[in-house]
Chains A and B, each alone.
Chain A
Amino acid sequence: MSTGRLFRTTAFRLAAVYGALFALAVVALFAFLYWRTLTLIDAETDAAIASEISGLAEQYRQRGLVGLMRIVTERSAAQPEASLGGANIYLLTRPDGAVLAGNLKRWPAAAQPTPAGFVFNLAAAEEGAQGNARARAFALEGGFRLLVGRDLRQREKLRAVVAESLALGLAATVALGLLAAMLVGRKLLQRVEAINAIGQRIVRGELKQRVALGGAGDEFDRLAENLNAMLDQIERLMTGMREVTDNIAHDLRGPLTRMKARLELALLPNSDPAQHRAAMESAIAETDRLLATFNALLSIAEAESGALHQSMRPVELGPLAADVAELYAPALEEKGLTLATEIAGCPPVLGSRQLLFQAVANLLENAMKYTPKSGRVTIATRSAENGSGPRGAALSVTDTGPGIPAELRGRVLERYVRLDQARSTPGSGLGLSLVAAVAKLHGARLELSDNNPGLAVTLTFPPRVEAPPQPQAAAS
């Protein structure tokens, strides 16, 4: 996985956008903190200066100029070097500007006013000094002036430290954000890549591959589950298609070979017109059988593909069963079988009338084929019990023939499976698999059971939950 690819992932981009937004918020927060800190320091400085001035003013009132001079000298002595950061600054001047006491060399010339006083550059009051001081002036009687201030270099240092920390913090935040974006992106990319890799292997033909689940039950697991379900369905369809192809090949090769042989025989020099005719007739009969097999396979494929869901309509099973019975009754009678109908009312099922008819007809034809003379075939419909819930519908065809042993009942639903006993009777071996495909298409349960004696085949349709679809407008 290349880094360039990582930067192009959605996860990385999302994380980067979130990181940028977060960094912006952090910048705003830090700026606010910085501003508040400086304001607070300034306010505290001003408050300290104010209280010192009011203290000195009190001294001046009680002890006069001399007392004030002494205190200023004392306090200045405690702060010998005004050039050191954080020091208190005092200056007492005469009306002519001469310094009486204090630790400044002269009254600062240029100053910027602040709400509570002014800020001046120490260089303006003392050569070689650097940095700013925050101060307040107080006028005494007779033109004497008092200046009390604080050296701001400490504050500058603090400001620098705060600014530096904030910048470092911001850099760390951005770096962490980017790292997180890369990690999240890489993690997501790994899972997506895993799915992609499986997809590519499947495209190459390894149909058995499945996407591994992370086990966390997260959205990727759900995606993987759905993909796996989809792959299962694709595999089933592919297998079904391969089976159909194999079976068609198997089923067509025999008759085609026979047909070819007969036609070639008819072309031999010494054959006569009667032989030609016989060969052609047998070729046509063989073609008809091939087409019947072909159509049965196509019907199964059609039912299995589920493409018919769109055109399903409510179908009444009772009348349908009666129609099948009516169509087959004479044929069964001819074979010496009794056909009984037990049609009880049942809710309509959503389905394809034609395919359901074909399925029931197949069941009846099977019963007819395998039930010995003077047997009885019954076709019945009833509503299927479903506790207190909505009722489904059930349709069954039972006979008194040899039945199917329990262990073979699953197999007969497969294509082309014909039990040994059935080899001697004509048939394609596709009848029941069509029934199974139609049952699946309709969501119905297909059950083979014992009729003691004979076979009972029951199709149980689920209750119809959704509203029947509106008839579609003519295709335009």
Chain B
Amino acid sequence: MRILIIEDDNETADYLAKGLKETGYTVDRAADGREGLFLATSETYDAMIVDRMLPGMDGLAIVQSLRAQGKLTPVLILSALGQVDDRVRGLQAGGDDYLTKPYAFSELLARVQALLRRQKPGAADTTLKVGELELDLLARTARRAGKPIDLLPREFRLLEFLMRHAGQVVTRTMLLERVWDYHFDPQTNVIDVHVSRLRQKIDKGFASAMLHTVRGAGYRLGVEPA
């Protein structure tokens, strides 16, 4: 997997590149907008991380010109501008996800992995399967090892999201954004409570846990423990 980082701040770029390389990705770097756009159009990447404010060319302009050329490389936009309007503008320009500085590397990694996963075909699945866990998207039913699990509508959406990102870390903010469709900062552990209720339903009475808490990052659904 090749990832392009377009970021003018050397230290941030170093930190991102180091983290991503340790996770097992190949990383290319561009320090300004023009070089970034050149690399993005001439090479093939699986995902791009684009800073919004760049010398030479604005990050949004890069994404727009990429999209205009028909390149669908998933893009994560990084920005120090966290206001609702800026977010919307970033996504309208063709970005696939938007992350406000400062961020935790775990959050960034989780989002990049989600972007990489999203590319894979299979959006038309009617059932999702992770280990013993099965989700029927048409009948809206869930089973583990054949045993039906009774889920509330929101719990179903939560589980669906976790299963679509099985094996990956998903953060609390990602869950709020994708499952609840709100982008805000809860002062309390609201998401944790929802996840622990879901965990009760899918893990209780089974020998192995499938819904794991990843300390300092979020959650991961998978057969094998972290």
Minimal Cβ-Cβ distance residue in A for B102 = A291
A284–B185 CB distance below 8 A = no
A330–B197 CB distance below 8 A = yes
A355–B186 CB distance below 8 A = no
Contact with A along B74-89 (1 / 0, CB 8 A): 0000000011110011
Give complex CA distance A369, B186 in Å. Answer: 13
Checking B154, B183, B185, B197 against A326 with a beta-carbon cut-off of 8 angstroms, the contacting residue is: B154
A365–B84 CB distance below 8 A = no
Closest-CB distance, B218 to chain A (whole angstroms) = 14
B188–A365 CB distance below 8 A = yes
Chain A residues lying within 8 Å of B186, measured Cβ to Cβ, are 327, 361, 365
User: B92 contacts the other chain (Cβ, under 8 Å)?
Assistant: yes
Give the B-binding residues of A (Cβ under 8 A): 284, 287, 291-292, 295-296, 298-299, 302, 307-308, 310-311, 323, 326-328, 330-331, 334, 352-355, 357-358, 361-362, 365, 368-369, 427-428, 431, 474-476
A427–B190 CB distance below 8 A = no
CB contacts under 8 Å to A, within B15-64, are: 60, 64
Give complex CA distance A291, B101 in Å. Answer: 10
Chain B residues lying within 8 Å of A428, measured Cβ to Cβ, are 187
Checking A284, A298, A328, A352 against B190 with a beta-carbon cut-off of 8 angstroms, the contacting residue is: A328
B83–A474 CB distance below 8 A = no
Checking A302, A362, A476 against B83 with a beta-carbon cut-off of 8 angstroms, the contacting residue is: A302
Closest-CB distance, A286 to chain B (whole angstroms) = 13
Give complex CA distance A369, B190 in Å. Answer: 13
Give complex CA distance A302, B180 in Å. Answer: 22
The 6 A-B pairs at the shortest CB distance, nearest first, are namely A330-B193, A474-B92, A358-B184, A331-B193, A475-B89, A357-B182
Closest-CB distance, A471 to chain B (whole angstroms) = 11
Checking A284, A310, A475 against B216 with a beta-carbon cut-off of 8 angstroms, the contacting residue is: A284
* Residue of B88, B102, B190 most packed against chain A (CB within 10 A): B190
A323–B194 CB distance below 8 A = no
* Residue of B64, B92, B187, B197 most packed against chain A (CB within 10 A): B187
Give complex CA distance A310, B83 in Å. Answer: 13
Minimal Cβ-Cβ distance residue in A for B181 = A323
Minimal Cβ-Cβ distance residue in A for B194 = A330
User: B69 contacts the other chain (Cβ, under 8 Å)?
Assistant: no
A354–B92 CB distance below 8 A = no
Give complex CA distance A295, B84 in Å. Answer: 12
Known: A292-B185, A330-B197, A352-B84. 7 other contacts (CB 8 A): A307-B85, A357-B182, A358-B185, A365-B187, A368-B188, A369-B188, A428-B187
Give complex CA distance A367, B188 in Å. Answer: 12
Assuming the contacts A298-B82, A355-B84, A474-B92, asked whether A431 and B193 have C-beta atoms less than 8 A apart, the reply is no
Give the A-binding residues of B (Cβ under 8 A): 60, 64, 82-85, 88-89, 92-93, 102, 154, 180, 182-190, 193-194, 197, 216
Chain A residues lying within 8 Å of B187, measured Cβ to Cβ, are 292, 362, 365, 427-428, 431
Minimal Cβ-Cβ distance residue in A for B64 = A476
Minimal Cβ-Cβ distance residue in A for B82 = A298
Assuming the contacts A354-B183, A476-B64, asked whether A311 and B190 have C-beta atoms less than 8 A apart, the reply is no
Chain B residues lying within 8 Å of A308, measured Cβ to Cβ, are 84-85
A327–B188 CB distance below 8 A = no
Give complex CA distance A299, B194 in Å. Answer: 25
Chain A residues lying within 8 Å of B89, measured Cβ to Cβ, are 475
Give complex CA distance A361, B184 in Å. Answer: 9
A327–B180 CB distance below 8 A = yes
| A-B CB contact pairs (8 Å), 5 listed | A307-B85, A327-B194, A330-B197, A362-B187, A474-B92
Chain B residues lying within 8 Å of A355, measured Cβ to Cβ, are 84
Closest-CB distance, A442 to chain B (whole angstroms) = 14
Closest-CB distance, A115 to chain B (whole angstroms) = 87
Closest-CB distance, A317 to chain B (whole angstroms) = 14
Checking A295, A334, A362, A365 against B193 with a beta-carbon cut-off of 8 angstroms, the contacting residue is: A334
Minimal Cβ-Cβ distance residue in B for A359 = B184
Closest-CB distance, B172 to chain A (whole angstroms) = 12
B92–A475 CB distance below 8 A = yes
Give complex CA distance A476, B61 in Å. Answer: 9
Closest-CB distance, B188 to chain A (whole angstroms) = 6
Closest-CB distance, B193 to chain A (whole angstroms) = 4
Give complex CA distance A346, B186 in Å. Answer: 26
Chain B residues lying within 8 Å of A302, measured Cβ to Cβ, are 83-84
Assuming the contacts A298-B82, A302-B84, A311-B85, asked whether A323 and B93 have C-beta atoms less than 8 A apart, the reply is no
Minimal Cβ-Cβ distance residue in A for B215 = A281
Assuming the contacts A310-B85, A311-B85, asked whether A331 and B185 have C-beta atoms less than 8 A apart, the reply is no
Closest-CB distance, B211 to chain A (whole angstroms) = 15
A327–B102 CB distance below 8 A = no
Chain A residues lying within 8 Å of B190, measured Cβ to Cβ, are 327-328, 330-331
Give complex CA distance A298, B87 in Å. Answer: 14
Chain A residues lying within 8 Å of B189, measured Cβ to Cβ, are 331
Minimal Cβ-Cβ distance residue in A for B184 = A358
A323–B182 CB distance below 8 A = yes
Give complex CA distance A353, B82 in Å. Answer: 16
B188–A331 CB distance below 8 A = yes
Give complex CA distance A368, B187 in Å. Answer: 11
Chain B residues lying within 8 Å of A368, measured Cβ to Cβ, are 188
* Residue of A308, A330, A428 most packed against chain B (CB within 10 A): A330
Chain A residues lying within 8 Å of B185, measured Cβ to Cβ, are 292, 295-296, 299, 358
A298–B93 CB distance below 8 A = no
Minimal Cβ-Cβ distance residue in B for A474 = B92
Chain A residues lying within 8 Å of B193, measured Cβ to Cβ, are 330-331, 334
B180–A475 CB distance below 8 A = no
Closest-CB distance, B55 to chain A (whole angstroms) = 21
Closest-CB distance, B23 to chain A (whole angstroms) = 19
Closest-CB distance, B45 to chain A (whole angstroms) = 24
B184–A357 CB distance below 8 A = yes
* Residue of B60, B89, B93, B186 most packed against chain A (CB within 10 A): B186
Minimal Cβ-Cβ distance residue in A for B182 = A357
Give complex CA distance A438, B45 in Å. Answer: 42
